[in-house]
Copies of this chain bind each other. A is one copy, B any other.
Amino acid sequence: MNKALVIQNTLSGNKETFKSIVEGHVGMYVCGPTVYSDVHLGNVRTFLSFDVIYRYLLFLGYKVRYVRNITDVGHLVGDIDEGEDKIGKKARLENLEPMEVVQRYTNGFHDVMRLFNILPPSIEPTATAHIIEQIEMSQSLLDNGLAYEKNGSVYFDVLKYAEKEPYGELSGRKLDDLMSNSRELDGQADKRNPLDFALWKKAEPEHLMKWPSPWGDGFPGWHIECSVMSRKYLGDTFDIHGGGMDLKFPHHECEIAQNKGSYGKKPVNYWIHTNMLTVNGRKMSKSEGNGFTPEELITGDHKLLDKGYSPMTVRFFMLMGHYSSTLDFSNTALQASEKAHQRMMIGWKELQDLPVSSSNDVDVTDLRSRCETAMNDDFNTPILISVLFDAVKNINLVKAGQQKIDEANKTALIQLFDDYLFKVMGLQEESNASTGDDLGSSLMEVLIEMRKEARTNKDFALSDAIRDKLASLQISLKDGTDGTTWAKGS
């Protein structure tokens, strides 16, 4: 059994045993959403993956300070430094104040996080709330000779930095390759080198979001906010930094350069990157028309979807893949996952009613050890789920009388599900019809069964009484070849 948590560290490319800087405490930073449009499923996967990592660290007993930012300014169109600020652009199109756009999509983002039972982070700082700190870090890079000002903007000098530090160390890119692949783009004339990136951008007069700075009115570049906010809340060097793998370069590479260049320390010990979503094997994207929203996935209201899936089915589906693998949305996979999820939840329910014996065939100590080993191996949720399915097999064998479980092991097994299915994986019981969990549905089954028994016993007074009482609640019964169904409504 592996008692130590091992993390695949993007920085080293290796699996490394996790050791936190301050014993018992973990500082974790995850790049959050840019709130200029609705959250997409790729975001959901990323934040869900880190939610499980956060939950597991808490489960291990760490006190975790989890910081996930909101980018409410400074992310430029096309990820190049020239062009219109994305949030400002949307605001003008809709004739709104930029912060109204920010508020709307921040609320929407929180709604989606809540829907999928993703815990809120300890701190959710915004870029606009840290303009002063971003100016200060830009100034320190100027002071250290690693940045230069040109026409009211400040740029990071990548070549200068690369003289002493390995620019590309995280993404594995070579400076020479980057140089030969870079092009001179229109409007980038202020830069000494195309690889340089903006720390502070001069605001044109029509720009809506801007602040005063030593270099005139402007707004921060995209990368600097994360350097500043992670350091402010977690310290010069902290334990874990995460994000989607598309952020590895340039965003995270630039973060490292900014932090090291500014105060001379490596900012992060463990970098974790989550992989992408595909749909029927192709990259999910709006332009391809295969990028359904979380809401469409739940309602099934999209041409590529055969039906809708409950939020917990989607959560279960996402955790059936490892965070570092691509995850393919197909109707087949989703439907298989829905069945698996139901099987798991039924197993959990049946566990409660399992008869106990004096003898025992179910080795819960071994099951728990395997759960722990799975999660300690870089948060391997697919293996964890397979172990829990082995437990469901045990439950079914006990139910069928082919295995026995004693009181202590039944209690331990309930605790195991409670720990790993609910606390660590963050699943929750859903009260909708698909999981058969709703009190009303259960009681309807009881009443329908009682009515059936009454009719079998020719106790028509009772069967009619049941029908009449239900009718008074606007519930109608329909007897069909497959049994009795019911509907509410007059």
Contacts and interface: CB of A to CB of B under 8 A. Distances in A.
Contact of A99 (B97, B125, B469): B125
Interface stretch (A259-267, A338-346, A434-442): A434-442
A437 to B, nearest CB: 11
A412 interface: no
A132 interface: yes
Interface in A400-455: 438-440, 442-444, 446-447, 449-450, 453
A469 B440 contact: no
Nearest to A454: B462
Given A97-B233, A103-B121, A469-B446, A352 B490 contact: yes
A97 B125 CA distance: 12
A178 interface: no
A490 B124 CA distance: 39
Interface string A125-168: 11011011000100000000000000000000000000000000
Q: A interface, how many residues as a size bin? A: 35 or more
Nearest to A442: B473
A474 interface: yes
B447 A490 contact: no
A59 interface: no
Interface string A18-37: 00000000000000000000
Interface string A249-276: 0000000000000000000000000000
A475 B65 CA distance: 40
Contacts of A65: 97, 100
Given A99-B233, A449-B469, A453-B465, 19 more contacts: A65-B97, A97-B233, A99-B125, A100-B122, A103-B121, A103-B122, A107-B120, A129-B129, A352-B474, A352-B490, A438-B440, A439-B444, A439-B488, A440-B440, A443-B444, A443-B447, A443-B473, A446-B473, A450-B465
24 contacts: A65-B97, A97-B123, A97-B233, A99-B123, A99-B125, A103-B122, A103-B123, A110-B110, A126-B129, A129-B129, A131-B132, A132-B132, A132-B211, A136-B212, A353-B472, A439-B444, A439-B473, A440-B440, A443-B444, A446-B469, A446-B473, A447-B447, A450-B465, A450-B466
